[in-house]
Structure 1
Amino acid sequence: MSLSPFHLAIPVYDLPAARRFYSDVFGLDEGRSSTQWVDYNFFGHQLVIHEHPKTASQEHVHSNPVDGHDVPVPHFGVVLGWSEWEDLAERLKTFGTKFVIEPYIRFKGQVGEQATMFLFDPCGNALEFKAFQNIDQLFAK
């Protein structure tokens, strides 16, 4: 499957804290930047953090139930390879990351079985990272 990189710009109300998080905790490479925004190579995609006042979704978290967990909405992230996902989960644990949903296997033994984890950045943006043992089941019902 060949995918085009996406571009996503997100609001952050504390640019220095968000910059430390994406640079140090995730280890992402910085691209262009200014005093109000920073570009990142987000697993081959372009993520831009933009300084912005706190949004309603950052102030009050909404969630929907999925597989017995409260999944924060909105959220974004990347589908990684299985070993990449495991490495990221370990890196995040090493940095003492507080997970909203700890790394685990969702839909175990079912179509669409996947590894997943949820966390917030320092500005309340929810992120999900997942991996499939069988990537062909990404959109399976």
Structure 2
Amino acid sequence: MRTLPPFHLAFPVSSLANARAFYGGLLGCPEGRSSDDWVDFDFHGHQIVAHLAPDEARDVAAHDVDGDAVPVRHFGLVLPMDAWQALADRLRAADTRFVVEPHIRFRGQPGEQATMFLLDPCGNALEFKAFADPARLFAR
């Protein structure tokens, strides 16, 4: 697999304490730099930055994808299958409320994948997915 440069994503949160508890605590992302208005996290080698912006919190629109109401505005990671399963288990053990429960989507099709969606405490949607064959990430 090719080496990819890390991406950077900034997103609004209504509480830095809740962002720290979710991204740093539950997801285990190490914290980087911060100020009174933002905090950055190492999201599996990528830089995500939670910016305090309570007025930006809003409902998330959804589209139907293979029978699931998928939040349109979301971000996340494609993990190895074993890491995806371990995260799904950890989130279930923490009584996480999923938007889309962990399951297999597009079963028997080129894009078959394990997927799950959840919201952070500030309403940002995240997707974590995995492929049995990572080379099928962009398969049609």
Short-chain TM bin: over 0.9
In structure 2, give the amino acid aligned to 1:136: A
Q: 5+ unaligned residues in a row in structure 1: which ranges? A: none
SS at match of 1:108: coil
Please name the residue that 1:104 is paired with. 103
Shift of 1:81: 0.6
Aligned to 2:35: 34
Instruction: Name 2:80's counterpart in structure 1.
Output: 81
C-alpha displacement of 1:11: 0.5
Q: What letter is aligned with 2:112?
A: E
**Superposition pairs of residues 63-74 of structure 1, within 5 angstroms:** 63-74=62-73
Q: Which residue of 1 aligns with 2:13?
A: 12
Contact preservation (8 Å) 2:59, 2:123? no
User: Per-residue deviation at 1:137?
Assistant: 1.1
Normalising to structure 2: TM-score of the pair? Answer: 0.95
Name the CA distance, whole Å, in 2 between partners of 1:6 and 1:121.
20
Identity of aligned residues (%): 57
Partner of 1:96, secondary structure, is: coil
Count residues in correspondence.
Answer: 139
1:53 Cα deviation after fit = 2.4
Task: Give the TM-score, by structure 1 length.
Answer: 0.95
Aligned Cα RMSD in Å? Answer: 1.0
Matches within 5 A, 1:120-139: 120-139=119-138
Counterpart residue number, 1:114: 113
